Structure 1
Amino acid sequence: MVTSRSLPKDLIARVDDLVDADTVRLVDLFKDIHRNPELGFEEIRTARLIEKALQNLGFDVTKGIGKTGIAATFRNGPGPVVMYRADMDANAVREETGLDYASTVTASREDGTQVPVGHMCGHDAHVTWLIGMANALVAVRDEWSGTVVLIGQPAEELITGAQAMLDDGLYNFIPTPDVLIGLHTAPGPVGMVINPPGTRMAGTDQVDVHFHGVGGHGSMPHKAKDPVRMAAQAALDFTSLVPRTVEPNATAVVSVGSIQAGTDNNVIPSEALVKVNLRWFEPHVREALLGGIRTASESIARAAGMGDDELPDLVLKGASPPLVNTPDLAEAMSASLREIIGAENVVTDMPAVTGSEDAHMLRGPHTDLPFNYLLVGVAAPEVFLDALSRGELVPYYPHNPNYVVDLAAIGFGTKIAAYSVLGLLDPR
């Protein structure tokens, strides 16, 4: 099993000097990606930036895996194959940070609706860290032996991007890895890394519930079977499922993110769509929630007078099991990082969160592949401390319109990525 090793001080110094010398370029790159966010499976420009940067460094690059995904391989002698993943997509969130490089981008959905787009989860930093880390690794290739596989993954926010790459034959283009790791931004202070072993994030499901009805004139609701009312009732019932179907000592979340129906004030539409998100840690909890959604949906439709052939359609879109850090790997990587950034800056005791990811799904058929996922602080320390003084845990959360990656985190995150990968490769 691949494990993380301590890095010699001269190699750490080389990495630090390389990243420091590259920071102006990386900050400019980060700002460029931030200004030009792209939604899941639309990351054409972002993927092209990764492709060009890695080709210039001598990586063997395959593009278009899972529509917009990138897989790049750098072989540097015998040794372990280390796979590192960064996600590329942005959120349908209007940015409110006021930064001079803030996004003003809008995009069209498949249904024709226009939505704002912003990097409110830090994936712009993830791409920048990957490119900066690749530059450092190639520059110190005389210090390590093995193979590095870098993944630019689409559509993490949809929880479908990793599976799309697998379905498109990812492992036809890369060697089988010995270990898989990834980094994500976190609203802790710059300089901190969070890396507990074991279960870290919840499993998730994205569920669309499509209600059928009978449309009609707004003045004659008694002649219609109103799907808007069904959808509204469903939203209330779904968000009541957890306390009624899940045991009190289990953790679960049901959220309704969108209700879509109709266009005109005076027209009762014939259909409505409710978009639901689940979070869970235990498979039986997932099954209880999915069963509850189906039962509630069908009951609501029947009560509205819909027949057996007119009951709601449930579509499961993206899904991912809980994210679990391989304990031995997480502990070894934390030990290595403590030697570099100080024990006080490596947090290994923190409860799991109900956020979700699909990075670990890139294991595909290699289900026993050791995996570790680190969180890197990106909030300005003074902003973080100000939040603490107000009794808040963090200054902002992912997907918030005011989510900010402090520019000092660009160099820091790049170094953490480089240290992490180097620690998993063989020394020369």
Structure 2
Amino acid sequence: MNLRSAIRAPLAAAVLLAGTVVHAADADLVERVRQLAEAQSGELEKTFKHLHANPELGFQETETAAMVAKRLNKLGYQVHTGIGGTGIAAVLENGDGPVVMFRSDMDALPLKEDTDLPYASDKQVTLPDGSQTYVMHACGHDSHVSWLLGIAQVMKETRKDWSGTLVLVAQPAEELIEGAQAMVDDGLYDKVPEPELLIAAHIFPIWASGTVAVRAGRRMAGSDALDVTLHGVGGHGSSPQHTVDPVVLGARSVMAYQTIVSRNVDPQQPAVLTVGSVQIGEANNVIPDNGVLKLNLRWYEKPVREQLISAIKRETNGLAKAAGVPEDRMPEYTMKGYAEPVYNDEALVDWAKPVLASVLGEKAIMPGFPPVMGSEDFPLLVSGLENTKTLFMEVGGGAPDVTKVYMETGKLPPLNHNPKFEIKNPGLAITAAVKAGSMLLLDSLKPKG
């Protein structure tokens, strides 16, 4: 199913029918959540604009993390900082009951912003290799941090209405697909209790601000970042007969990779193999000793992942041998960032939809986009926990007529990771996320009996 087909699906089918959502939350509590969220709208939008103008790359979110920690401390949360570098986990214990976690990511992207926003970023940073890059919140993590703070306030103010333990996570380096695992490896669960449910949300401009969506099944793909280091025998450009040229080996390898998905993977299984960077050589008249191919893999099933990795090694090693690369200089493979696929359990979605409709209204509940090959690393926060479930929510960040325009013209606004990415009416989008996230947490922590 394509996106347009998904949008055409009757919105009434995306939520339970009217009259069936009253059980999701007490009407007085729903109204209180609305009021608490809306009362913060102006301040949260101000926070968002500050974060947008001051973005930070993965594992460099020092100022963002300090602001989050300060505000959560002020609210009375037990705050743990510096987890996995710059990550934060905050705990609010409120009697007996389940442990529920809500996670937001903090990092921005190495992009030069190309919007006309008055709070646009013009920030530049120096990378470890000495080069400089512009930085931009082109994926909306500034809004994620903002609604995390809003949810923290609501949950603090509604303590009489829930029982259990709430854990809020501000995670670094999602864009690197490394931050969630870094927090776990750095002892996250030595500091906070293991959750029974983990909720995460992401903003997308394909839905209008003020709306949300949850959809069952596959949502986002698993991902790997893989560096292939090619070793040759360097020499003078005038004497190629005395060399083993990694430039040619790299070119052949890139072309060989193009048939891996089409000739190795079951056509019914989604998979993507992208060569995002080729870094081989520097001078016109020098055949270099080595080079690096930077690959990105996307998949939904673990056997497909293994097929991709195995085929990459087979093709590259075969070409290296054919080129005459010595056995002691065969290609090397470095696995870097990794993310597991994101799935929404059908039973959790059936629970979440009426809860969301109770606080936002049924018209604000979108059908959810079809499965995509983009990735999210938040499942790694709990992948080692046997009984923990996850729920992924989409938050609208587009113009009011974004769906209408798409249906009539097929055009979408600049999407995430685009220099022109922009959240329309961010205050409305963030407030909707605060209402939605808070109600999901309150319902999952609802006292029994």
How far has the Cα of 1:31 moved from its partner? 1.0
User: Of 54, 61, 65, which residue of structure 1 is paired with 2:79?
Assistant: 61
What's the counterpart of residue 203 of structure 2?
185
Could you say if the C-alpha distance between residues 21 and 343 of structure 1 is closer, same or farther in structure 2, counting changes exceeding 3 Å? Answer: closer
Structure 1 residue 295: deviation in Å?
1.3
CA contact (8 A) 2:359 2:435 kept: no
TM-score by length of 1: 0.93
Structure-2 residue corresponding to 1:294 = 313
Cα distance change on mapping 1:111 and 1:173 into 2, 3 Å? same
Matching of residue 214 in structure 1 with residue 197 in structure 2: no
**Contact 2:212 2:432 (C-alpha < 8 Å) held by counterparts:** no
Question: 1:229 matched to which residue of 2?
Answer: 248
> Shift of the alpha carbon at 1:298?
1.3
Distance 1:15 1:342, change over 3 A: closer
TM-score (normalised: structure 2): 0.89
SS at match of 1:381: coil
Residue 106 of structure 1 is aligned with which of 107, 110, 124? 124
Matched, 1:332 2:351: yes
Instruction: Please state how far the C-alpha of 1:258 moved relative to its aligned partner.
Output: 1.4
Instruction: State the AA in 2 paired with 1:23.
Output: S
1:375 aligned counterpart, secondary structure: strand
Q: Distance in 1 between matches of 2:225 and 2:437?
A: 30
2:172 paired residue number: 154
Distance 1:240 1:92 in 2: 31
How far off its partner does 1:383 sit? 4.2
Please provide the CA RMSD for this pair.
Answer: 2.0
- The letter of the residue matching 1:173 is K
**3-state SS of the aligned residue for 2:125?**
strand
- Change in Cα spacing, 1:20 to 1:340, as seen in structure 2 (3 Å) is closer
Q: Which residue of 2 aligns with 1:280?
A: 299
| SS, match of residue 135 in structure 1 | helix
Structure 2: state its 5+ residue gaps.
1-21
In structure 2, what is the equivalent of residue 410 of structure 1? 430
C-alpha change, 1:127 and 1:302, in structure 2 (3 Å) is same
Aligned twin of 2:332: 313
Correspondences of 1:11-410 after superposition (within 5 Å): 11-187=29-205, 188-348=207-367, 350-392=369-411, 394-406=412-424, 407=426, 408-410=428-430
Shift in Å, 1:12: 2.1
Q: Unpaired runs of 5+ in structure 1? A: none
Runs ≥4 in structure 1, deviation > 6 angstroms? none
Q: Deviation of residue 350 (structure 1)?
A: 4.6
Conserved in 2, the CA contact under 8 Å of 1:239 and 1:256?
no
Q: Describe the SS at the equivalent of 1:99.
A: coil
Whether the aligned pair in 2 keeps the contact of 1:97 and 1:404 (CA below 8 Å) is yes
Please give the per-residue CA displacement for 1:6-36, whole angstroms capped at 9, x wherever unaligned. Answer: 1222222222222222222111111111112
Displacement of 1:134 = 0.6
Q: CA deviation at 1:152?
A: 0.8
What is the count of residue pairs matched by the alignment? 424
Match of 2:442 in 1: 422
Contact 1:333–1:423 under 8 Å retained in 2? no
Q: Is the 8 Å Cα contact of residues 368 and 394 (structure 2) preserved in structure 1?
A: no
Matched residue type, 1:420: L
1:384 Cα deviation (Å)? 4.5
Task: Please state how far the C-alpha of 1:387 moved relative to its aligned partner.
Answer: 3.7
Q: 1:109 to 1:214 in 2, by over 3 A?
A: farther
Q: AA paired with 1:372?
A: L
How far the C-alpha of 1:259 sits from its partner, in A, is: 1.6
Partners of 2:127 and 2:368 lie apart in 1 by 40
Paired-residue identity, %: 43
Structure 1 CA distance for aligned equivalents of residues 192 and 335 of structure 2: 29
Amino acid at match of 2:231: H
Contact 1:26 1:128 in 2 (8 A): yes
Counterparts of 1:382 and 1:270, CA distance in 2: 55
Q: Distance in 2 between matches of 1:16 and 1:423?
A: 15
